[in-house]
Amino acid sequence: MIEEGNNIITVSKNETVEIQNGTVYVMAYTTQLGYQVEINGNTTYETQINPNTTNYVNVSLVPILSYVNITIEGNGEVIVKFDNGSSEIVRNSSVVKVIQGTSLSLIPKPGKGYSFYSWSNLSSMSPMWIIAFGNQSIIAVFVKGNGPSFSLPKYDVMGFGFLGLFGAIYLLTRKKT
């Protein structure tokens, strides 16, 4: 939008707009995730210009970059899959640069004689999905052998048992009424 005196002009594409001499207020916004607005090379959403000293206004969208640092501990690699279907293999520690808001799928692939143990957030989910915002660090931990065995703690199993028991009692009593 361009505000000139009491007039507001909306511009949504490359367009030439004639304005009278005097101070002009320019506001530019984007709804596109991962991008910011630059007006005449400055990162801002609004600015004032004087047509006597400035004869053009250049508004552009510039990507906001996020850096995802992936570290490998042990013998293995991580396959990074991007929104667009492309992928990258991280064999050693590496930084993946993406546009902010990009979703990534991280797939651990253990080397021979190793197994995937966990991510740095203690999750062992495979694949793990993240949305890149700011700078992030992720560690993939691979261990020798088959890795730890998975078992549910006793209280989780008991909780499921009680939930099932109470559900059955509820259904039986409801059926009788």
> 65-144: CATH homologous superfamily?
Collagen-binding surface protein Cna, B-type domain (2.60.40.1140)
70 contacts 107 by C-beta, under 8 angstroms: no
pLDDT value of residue 112: 93
> What is the mean predicted confidence (pLDDT) over 72-99?
94
127 contacts 106 by C-beta, under 8 angstroms: yes
How far apart CA 84 and CA 105 sit, in angstroms, is: 11
pLDDT value of residue 71: 96
| DSSP category for residue 149 | P
Mean pLDDT for all residues in the chain: 80
How far apart CA 106 and CA 79 sit, in angstroms, is: 6
pLDDT value of residue 130: 92
Query: Which tokens sit at 92?
Result: 């050693």
83 contacts 108 by C-beta, under 8 angstroms: no
Per the model's pLDDT, the better-predicted residue between 112 and 26 turns out to be 112
Sequence ranges of the domains in the chain? 2-63, 65-144
Write the pLDDT tens digit of every residue in 128-144: 999 999 899 999 999 99
Range with lowest mean pLDDT among 76-80, 133-137, 160-164: 160-164
How far apart CA 98 and CA 70 sit, in angstroms, is: 13
Residues whose CB is less than 8 angstroms from the CB of residue 3 and which lie 6 or more positions away in sequence, other chains included: 9, 24, 25, 26, 27
Q: How far is CA 155 from CA 149, 160, 169, in A?
A: 18, 9, 21
Whether the per-residue pLDDT at 80 is higher than 90: the answer is yes
Following CA atoms 42, 43, 45, 49 in sequence, which dihedral angle do they give, to the nearest 10 degrees? -10
Write the pLDDT tens digit of every residue in 9-42: 777 766 667 666 677 777 888 888 888 888 888 8
Please give the distance of CA 88 from its chain centroid, rounded to a whole number: 17
- Omega of the bond leading into 127 within 30 degrees of 0 (cis): yes
pLDDT value of residue 150: 47
Percent of the chain surpassing pLDDT 70:
74
Whether the per-residue pLDDT at 70 is higher than 60: the answer is yes
How far apart CA 107 and CA 11 sit, in angstroms, is: 44
pTM (two decimals): 0.65
